[in-house]
Amino acid sequence: MSEYRIEKDSMGEVRVPKDAYYGAQTQRAVNNFPVSNLRFSREFIRALGLVKKHAASVNASLGELDNEIAAAIQEAAAEVSEGMFDDDFAVDIFQTGSGTSTNMNANEIIAKRANELKGEEVETVIHPNDHVNYGQSSNDVIPTSIRVAAVVTVKEKLIPALSHLKSAFEKKGAEFPDVVKTGRTHLMDAMPVTLKQEFEGYARQLELGVERLESALQRLSELPQGGTAVGTGLNTHREFGARMAEALSEATGFSFEEASNHFEAQSTVDAPAELSGQLKTIATGLMKIGNDLRWMNSGPNSSIGEIKLEALQPGSSIMPGKINPVIEESVTMVCAQVIGNDSAITIAAQSGNFELNVMLPVVAHNLLESIMILGNAARNLADRSVTRLTVNREKVADTVGRNPVLVTALNPVIGYDKGSKIAKKAYKEGRPVKEVAREMTDLTDEELREALDPIKMTRGGFME
């Protein structure tokens, strides 16, 4: 720190970088937590800035804060929310469990900037605690910011991305309603399905994922703001919490309300943990989808090879011409990260003692990371893979015709035991089921053609 200024707090003097907008308390935290170099995300800082902006506005409307002071704070907090001071949010994620260091980081930035903005209009020096943090505590500001950031990011980023991927599967499936492929159970040949049916299954997974998110957001939209230190609302106006929820609803366009019980809202992170659980469920579904596409694309010559994913980049530094399913691999790694993040959040959610959870920063970091990377991966899968894939119709038709399990459609007529003998002979000799059944049954060619029509099998039911 070659150039610095001296800042003071209740513990004494601290050297702070000369051009930093933060002050002594932030610098102490920077010194105390040289852990990971991980910082709070843009999404979280955006929400934290909104909380500070509207806290000043609400306090002014309640007569708790001077109007000119409040106006300067609002302008500075808006700049924080818009990203002008992201570099000044310098405290590591692995800090005090309440997030007090980051709350004070915001208070100090906003106070310094507000004092610059007010010029000579306000005689009183705007103080980080007395003014910017008025009627608030880290214990309600940080969990409120987590919830606001998560709701906004899910609504703006993740749900649209999942819906986009769902639509991509539906549109791509609609291109191939007549493509009958071998179904697989236990990774072994089973009865046929259409490619459209498979893709509609993926689309339904994504649709249910959106429904799960919407349900979790109902609980996440209850805001702790107004509970202050321990949930009692000490040192804040009794209407502050409700008015803050109204103000944040208007600012974001999404519905928030004051927590029905501030002790629950501040002492637990049950609602964020619930959302994380739903993100994990979506990730497990996307993992399955990604792996299915990898299997269907595998080969191209020595494996399934039913679809062809677009070639996006060379797949090997040593094997010329090799192309890999890189988008699907990216998606499955994202899914693994989200599942891991959920484990961390689950442990963090257990760490509420009496009136406060003390792992709030790690919940914020992991939850928002999961939301963002899931949304990005889903959209990328749609745009760079699903919409561009093609179908190897000849390969699909050949494998369906040689599938000995097709004999299952004859069970109602010839019985399971007879069907088993036909299937084994067809597999052993590498012949189509229809040829072997013609030799081993009294069924006519027309009856066999009707019974063993793969497209009819995809519609379920018995033979007509």
Distance between CA atoms of 406 and 317, rounded to whole angstroms? 42
263, 289, 290 from 204: Cα distances, Å: 38, 12, 15
Q: Which residues pair with 8 in a beta bridge?
A: 13
Q: Which two tokens stand for residue 67?
A: 């109007």
Alpha-carbon dihedral 81, 86, 88, 89, rounded to 10 degrees: 80
Distance between CA atoms of 262 and 140, rounded to whole angstroms? 9
Q: Which two tokens stand for residue 279?
A: 């993100």
404: which DSSP letter?
G
Alpha-carbon dihedral 254, 258, 264, 265, rounded to 10 degrees: 50
Select which of 186, 260, 302, 317 is catalytic.
Answer: 186
Select which of 255, 303, 316, 343 is catalytic.
Answer: 316
96, 166, 203, 285, 328 from 378: Cα distances, Å: 34, 9, 12, 11, 10
Helix (H, G, I), strand (E, B) or coil at 295: helix
Distance between CA atoms of 115 and 126, rounded to whole angstroms? 6
Helix (H, G, I), strand (E, B) or coil at 270: helix
Q: Which two tokens stand for residue 59?
A: 């306090």
- For 83-154, where are the alpha helices, taking DSSP H only? 100-118, 138-153
Which positions ≥6 away from 353 have C-beta within 8 Å?
none
323: which DSSP letter?
B
Distance between CA atoms of 281 and 162, rounded to whole angstroms? 13
CB-CB contact of 228 with 235 (8 Å): yes
H/E stretch holding 307: strand 307-308
Helix, strand, coil abundance in the chain, percent, nearest 5 = 60, 5, 30
128: which DSSP letter?
I
What distance lies between CA 413 and its chain's CA centroid? 50
Give the number of other CB atoms < 10 A from CB of residue 8: 10
Whether 186 is catalytic is yes
Distance between CA atoms of 116 and 108, rounded to whole angstroms? 13
Distance between CA atoms of 305 and 394, rounded to whole angstroms? 10
Could you list the active site residues?
A: 186, 316
